[in-house]
Amino acid sequence: MTENDIKFMKRAIELAQEGMNSNAGGPFGAVVVKNGEIIAEGFNRVTSTNDPTAHAEVTAIRAACTKLGTFQLDDCIIYTSCEPCPMCLGAIYWARPKAVFYGCDKVDAAKIDFDDQFIYEELDKEIGDRNIKFVQILQKEARVAFDKWEEKEGKTEY
């Protein structure tokens, strides 16, 4: 843990409080750092923007990608005031930063009624056993788009 790590995590925690105090959403903040500088900040905006995906990490990742003009966070570090939920963890893997520092963990989050653990457990279940009903239909028809993607020339892969 370096001086910079402490500084950036403190900023993420500060953002968590700023977001909460301004009634943007839950008490979560995040920053994205590249080359020792903060390039984007975010806090939870779920309830104020009616966007269930507007968690601190997603908000910060989107802002960082916009700033960098890319959909990949190469060589970036994310500092988040709380361990990412499964959605944010997925977003982090798609964005591919080199590291993530987090403050609170999912046990702390569960104590204030943000129960990420439930979603982690649902992900581990067979798709037919989940709490939300998942049904596969028209697989053959849907594959046509995938076949066309394979044949497509000049596509941007990711």
Q: Which of residues 42-71 bind its own copies (CB under 8 A)?
A: 46-47, 50-53, 58, 61-62, 65-66, 68-71
Looking only at residues 136 through 155 of this chain, which bind its own copies when binding is defined by CB under 8 A?
136-139, 141-146, 148-150, 152, 155
CB of 125 to its own copies, least distance (A): 11
Query: Which of 11, 29, 30, 32 touches its own copies (CB under 8 A)?
Result: 29
Minimal distance, residue 129 CB to its own copies, in Å: 14
The residue type found at 24 is A
Instruction: Look at the block and give the residue holding tokens 């044949």.
Output: 151
Q: Which of residues 79-98 bind its own copies (CB under 8 A)?
A: 81-83, 85-98
Q: Does 38 bind its own copies (CB under 8 A)?
A: no
Nearest of 158, 10, 44, 5 to residue 96 by alpha carbon = 158
Catalytic residue among 3, 37, 57, 153: 57
How far, in Å, CA of 57 to CA of 78, rounded?
A: 8
Task: Give the phi and the psi of residue 138 in degrees, each rounded to 5.
Answer: 50, 40
Question: Which residue lies nearer to its own copies by CB, 37 or 98?
Answer: 98
Between the CA of residue 29 and those of 3, 20, 93, 115, what are the distances in Å?
19, 9, 19, 17
User: Which residue's CB is nearer to its own copies, number 28 or number 33?
Assistant: 28
d(CA 89, CA 72): 14
AA letter at 19? G
Binds its own copies by CB under 8 A, chosen from 35, 126, 128, 132: 132
Q: Is 57 a catalytic residue?
A: yes
